[in-house]
Amino acid sequence: MKKILFILLTGAAVLSSSLKADIDFQDVGPTDIVGVRESDARGPFKIEFTFDAVGRGKMKDSDHRIQFATAEIELSAVFYHDASIDEGASIGLSYERSRIDWNRNPFYRQKDFDVASLNVAFSSKRLCDWLWKGQLTANFDNLKHWNFNEYMNYDMLLWGRYDYRNVGINLGVLALTGMKIDRVYPIIGVDWKYGEKWIINLVFPMNVSVVYNITQHWAATVAARLFYERHRLAHDEVLKKGLIVYTTTGAEFGVNYTPNAKLFANLHLGYDAGGRFKRANRHYNNKHHYKIEGAPYAGCQLDYAF
């Protein structure tokens, strides 16, 4: 679904997924890269629901405010698995509804955006001590007004992790393209498991978090999160088929609950430090930037595998 800006390159943001589900490039929270064998132990199918809401942030040097919220549901399935080398492939379909509510907006009326996404992913441990994952996601933007030529965008990922004792060395590349918005970012960093309780992730831009395992089923987390949206407006707006990009980043405290291998739940509460809102014409020219000030946010995630 995802410009992932300068914030990413400075390491203030992270991405959210599991290996067999799609990576959502719009509401980006902590993730691990795991093999298909670990995912497959939970079952070949997975339903995931996520929700986040950010309070009204003031647009700097004005009395305008902007509020953001997003909800997404996804179904994914592993359709190929070679247990001998822990290699597999999955397909996922998701639907997201997001709200970008800019009060006193003189350029367009639309507040709600619907996006459907189709992703195909693979993972492999064929190479000794390496786990590699690749993913291609096609996003069908603004479904009510969608057409193939102007409302499609794509996310591409290649991510490898080298396992060295309790340390993982992560390398890869992340690319976003479509709707005149093209970005390519390197993936680099380490993750470290310290004893039985602590996991420290410094993998930019994929995962910046600290996890403390309280018990077998409960964990506390401190993490960074990116909220990112790119959309094309409808043809009947004042800003006809214009492009908008919403990007903010924050820090959060979360609680994870994993009662068994099939169910995962997360609640988190944080403060969005702000960011930028951009509007441009249909060709992504005549760009105007607006700074967004901070606001609190809260969200949840629920995964069930079967």
CB 1 within 8 A of CB 24: yes
Average confidence (pLDDT) per 10 residues, the chain, 306 residues: 35 33 47 54 89 96 94 96 90 98 93 97 94 97 94 97 95 96 94 95 93 97 95 95 96 97 97 97 96 98 96
What residues form DSSP beta bridges with 250?
A: 225, 272
pLDDT of residue 16: 33
Residue 3: per-residue pLDDT: 36
- Six-digit token string for 27: 């509401």
**Structural domains in the chain, sorted by start:** 1-305 (2.40.160.40)
- Please report the pLDDT score of residue 10 as a whole number: 31
CB 39 within 8 A of CB 78: yes
Q: Tell me the three-class secondary structure of 90-127, residue by residue.
A: EEEEEEEEEEEEECCCCCCCCCEEEEEEEEEEEEECCC
> Rounded to an integer, what distance in angstroms lies between the CA atom of residue 208 and that of residue 202?
5
pLDDT of the residue at 184: 92
pLDDT of residue 276: 96
Hunting for tokens 């951009």 — which residue is that? 278
Task: Tell me if residue 141 falls in helix, strand or coil.
Answer: coil
Number of neighbours of residue 101 by Cβ within 10 angstroms: 13
Match 């379909």 to its residue by tokens.
93
Centroid of chain to Cα 30: 9
> Would you state the pLDDT for residue 206?
86
Tokens of 42: 């939970």
Centre a 10 Å sphere on the Cβ of residue 198 and count the other Cβ atoms it contains: 12
